[in-house]
Amino acid sequence: MNGRRILIVVAAVALLILVLPMTAAGEEVTTNVTIGVNEYVALNNDIYIEVLDVGIDMGGSAQVHFYSYQDSVGTEKTLYMGDVPTEYTSGSGMTIEVTLDSVFSNGASFVIESSKKLYVTERHAGEVETEAVTVPKLTIMRTIDPNEAEIGQTVKVTLTIKNTGNGTAIDIELTEGTIAKTYKDGCPSTIDDIAAGATERIEYDLKLGGDAQPGTREMPPSVLNYRGEFGDSYSTQSQSSILEIIAETVLLPELTISIDPIDYVVTCGDKVPMVVTITNVGNATSEKVYVKGDLPPGVRLKGGELEPVYESIKPDKSEEYEVTLVANEEGKHVVEMKVMWADEEVTAVFEFRAEKSGLEKYYVYIIAAIPILLILLWIIKRRREYSY
Amino acid sequence: MLNILVLGLGQCGNRILDAMNREAFGRGGTFAKYYTRQKFPASVKTIAINTAINDLKGLVDTRAKDRLHVPHLHGVGANRTIGKRVFEENKEIIMSEIDKRGTFDLIFIMTSAAGGSGSSFAPLLVRELKETYKNAPIICITVLPFREEGSIFLQNAAFCLKDIIDEKPAGVLLVDNQYLKKYAGDIKSAYDKINNTTARRLLFLIEALNSEMLMVTDLGDLKTVMNGGIGIGTMGFYEASKDSTIKSAILGSFKPSGLLFPTNVYKEGARAMLIIKGDKKYLDLDLITKTIEELSTEVGQVFKGVLIQRGRPRVLSLFTLNSVPELEKLYAIAAEAIRFEKENRDKSKSQLDSAFSHIEDLEPIY
C-alpha cells in the first residue's frame, strides 16, 4: 500500500517537472529561424515566411515573402543586415517583427519577435546551409624609415597590409604614391592573396635621386585594389607620408672672422685691444689660414701679431688672438681684417672713434693758462714776500 | 760798491724806509714790486724795526723779511723809558738781524724824534752799532714833530735828539715836519711827501757816493762834512728848470724852500757837500767850480761831486751847521710844554690829595 503511494507521489512530481517547463516555453516572444532559399516556415499555423533570394550587397540582404491563411497574397520585402525590423501582420491579426541576422550562400537567418509565443508549426524542404558569405577587408599602413634623408640616400618603405575581413582578398594590386625624383626598388605592383586575418608585410627601398628637391615632401597614399572570393571588388588606401629631403652634405671648410667690439670712443694714445676670432664653421679642416690686417693711417700696432698664419683649423674650432692698437690721430678709424683660406676670404672690420684726451682738448687753454698761473704764482709769491 | 745799511725805526722811520724801497723799484708804480726787483744804487740793506706790529703791517714795499717786530704788545705808547727797556731786552735780536746782512760802510738810521719806539731805540742803537761796526759812519736822519702834536712828542723830540747827539754818531740830518708841512694841505699828504722827499734825497746821496763821477766826492768827504759844525745838518735840493744855468741850480739847492729843516745856510752852515747830476750839456765844470768857490767863502768847505746823467741838472746839498736856532726854539717850546705838563700834574695831584683829605680820618660805615 505504501509503495503504491510513494510511486504515485514520484509520478506526480515527475509530471509536474515536465509540465512547468512547457508552460514557461509557451511564453517566449523571440525566436531565431534559419530558412533556405525557396523554402518557408509556418509560425503558429498562421504566418508563412518564405525566402525568395539572398544577396551579399550592402553587407547582406534577403528577399522575403510574408503571407498567412487569411492573407494568401502576403507581401514581399527585402531585408538588410543591420536594418530596422520589418513588421508583418497576418490576416488573423498576429504581428511579428523580423530582422535579418545573417546571410548565407543559400539561405538566411532571422530573428523574429512577437507578442505571442512563436512556434514553427511547419517547415518546407529540409536543410539549410549555415556557411556565411565571406568578405575580405584590407587595411594598409605605410612607414618610411628614416623619414629624413639626404639627397642620394636610400630610405626603407614598409607597407603593412592586414585583412580584417572574413574572406580572402585576391587579385590585389598596389598603386604606390611617388615623390618626384625618387626611385623605388623592390616595390611590387601586385600582391599575393591575403587570407582573412592574415597580415602581409612588404618592404622596398626608395632612393632619393641626385636631382631631388630638398625640403619637406609628401608621398601620396598607397592604394590597394582587390577582390573577394565572390568576385566582389574593393579598394583601400593608406595615409600619405612625409619625407624630409635634405640637401647633400658637401665637405668644405668655411671660416668666419669676428672682432670683439669695444667702446666706440677711445682716447688718442690709449691702448685699444682688438680681439680677433677665426672660426671654422664648415665641415672640413681648413689648411693654411692666413690673416691680413689693414691698419688705417693714424693707427699703429702697439703689441701682438697682427697677421698670424694658422696651419689648420678643424671644423667647429676657433683661433683667437689679441693685438693692441694705438690711435695717434683723432677721428673714426676702421681696421679691416681679412682671413684667407684656399681661394676663399672673408673680412671683418673693427671700428672705433679716437678723440683727443680730455687734457689734450684743453692744451691751448693750459698753455695759455701756464704763464698766467706762473704770473699769478709770482704775484702771490711777491705779495707774500711783501706781506707781513 | 758801498755796503749801506738803512734802518727805519718806529712808524716814521718805517715809512721813510718804505718810501725808499718804493723809489728803488723805479717808476713802476704800485705794481712794480710784482714784476721787478728793487734797484738800489749801491748794496743797500734795509730793515724796518718797530714794536708796533700794525705799523710794520702797514708797509707796502718793504719785504717781510726786512721787517723786524720787537715784541712788546703794540708799541711802547710814546714812552721812551719803556722803549729803552724794550730795546735792552731785545737788542740781541735786533743786532742779530742786522748782523745777518753782513758788514757795512755806511749806516743810516731814520727815526722820528718824537715817537716811542724810534726815539727810544735810535740813541741806543747808535751806541750798539758803533761798537759793532766801528768803521761805518752812522748818520741819523731825525724827524722833528709838528709843534702842535702835543707835549709828550715835543719832550720826546727834545730828549731823543739830545740822547742821539750824546752817542756821537757821524752826523744828524734833521727833517722838520713843521717846516715841511707846506708841501700839502692835509697831514697825511704832508707825511707822504715828506717821507718821499727824504727817501729820494737819501737815494740821490747813496747813488752819488757809489758812482763814478766826473768830479768826485765820496764817503770820506761825507764823513768830513758831517764832522763839521755841531754835527747836525740837513739836506737841500733843486731841480733846474729848462732855462736855468747850473749856477742857479746850485744856489737853488741852498734856498730854504729846498731844505728839509729851516736854517740859513749862508749864515749857519759849517760844511757842505754838493752832488750835481744832469746831462753833460748842462754841466759847465768851470762854472760849477767857480760857483762852489764862491759858496765856500760863505758856507765853509764845500765838497762837490758831478755825475753825468740824463736830464736837466739836479742838485743835492748836504750841510752841517754851526748853530741851529730853530732847535733852540724847539727846545724852548718843549721845555715850556714839560713845565706846563708838570704844573698840571702837580695841580691835579694837589686837587686829588685835597679831595682825599676829606675822608682822611674816616672809615667806611656799613
Residue A38 pLDDT > 80: yes
Query: How confident is residue A4, by pLDDT bands cut at 50, 70 and 90?
Result: low
DSSP A106-172: SEEEEEEEESS---EEEE-S-----PBPP---EEEEEEEESSEEETT-EEEEEEEEEE-SSS-BEEE
Q: Nearest CB to B59: which of A382, A385, A388?
A: A388
Does residue A4 belong to the interface with chain B, where contact is any CB pair within 8 Å?
no
Check residue A21 and give its pLDDT.
39
Whether the per-residue pLDDT at B37 is higher than 90: the answer is: no
List of chain A residues whose C-beta atoms are within 8 Å of the C-beta of residue B65: 385
Using a CB–CB cut-off of 8 Å, the residues of B that contact A are 33-35, 53, 56-57, 59-65, 67
- A16 has a pLDDT exceeding 60: no
pLDDT tier at A141, thresholds 50, 70, 90:
very high
Helices (H), chain A: 2-25, 358-361, 363-385
B64 and A382 within 8 Å at the Cβ level: the answer is no
What confidence score (pLDDT) does residue A362 get? Answer: 80
- Closest approach of chain B CAs to the CA of A382, in angstroms? 6
Backbone angles phi, psi at A352, to 5 degrees: -160, 160
Chain A contacts of B63, Cβ < 8 Å?
385-386
pLDDT-derived band at B358, boundaries 50, 70, 90: very high
Say if A387 is an interface residue toward chain B (CB within 8 Å): yes
Q: Give the least confident one: A6-10, A67-71, A313-317, A339-343.
A: A6-10
The answer to whether the Cβ–Cβ distance between B63 and A383 falls below 8 Å is no
Per residue in A211-244, pLDDT (tens digit) is 888 999 999 999 999 988 877 788 899 999 999 9
A26 contacts A9 by C-beta, under 8 angstroms:
no
- Residue B10 one-letter amino acid: G
Instruction: Measure CB to CB from residue A386 to each of B35, B53, B63 and give the nearest one.
Output: B63
B187-209 and B219-226 are packed helices; what angle lies between their axes, rounded to 10 degrees?
Answer: 130
**3-class SS string, A324-362:** EEEECCCEEEEEEEEEEECCEEEEEEEEEEEECCHHHHC
CA distance A365 to chain B (A): 23
Cβ atoms of residues B208 and B316 within 8 Å: yes
- A263-289: per-residue pLDDT in tens? 778 888 888 999 999 999 999 999 999
Q: What is the pLDDT of residue A355?
A: 86
Is A387 within 8 Å of B64 when comparing Cβ atoms?
yes
Average pLDDT over chain B, rounded to whole?
91
With bands split at pLDDT 50, 70 and 90, how would you rate the model's confidence at A322? very high
Q: How far apart are CA A201 and CA A187, in angstroms?
A: 12
Q: Do B57 and A388 touch (CB under 8 A)?
A: yes
Q: How far apart are the first and last CA of chain A?
A: 175
Query: What's the pLDDT at A104?
Result: 86
Average pLDDT over residues B209-224: 84
Query: Residue A83 in contact with residue A158, Cβ under 8 Å?
Result: no
Please name the residues between 362 and 381 in chain A that touch chain B, using a CB distance below 8 Å: 378-379
Q: Are A45 and A70 in contact (CB under 8 A)?
A: no
Q: Please determine, for residue A167, whether its predicted confidence score (pLDDT) is greater than 90.
A: no
Residue of B nearest to A381 (CA): B34
Question: Given this model, what pLDDT does residue A127 score?
Answer: 47
Q: How confident is the model at residue B143 (pLDDT cuts 50, 70, 90)?
A: very high
Residue A132 has pLDDT above 80, yes or no: no
Q: Is the pLDDT of residue A179 over 80?
A: yes
Name chain B contacts of A379, Cβ cutoff 8 Å: 34
Q: What mean pLDDT comes out for the span A313-325?
A: 94
Per-residue model confidence as pLDDT tens digits over B65-122: 999 999 887 788 889 999 999 999 999 999 999 999 999 999 999 999 998 899 999 9
Question: For residue A65, is pLDDT > 80?
Answer: yes
CB contact under 8 A, A386 and B61: yes
Check residue A139 and give its pLDDT: 92
Residue A5: band (very low, low, confident or very high) from pLDDT cuts 50, 70, 90: low
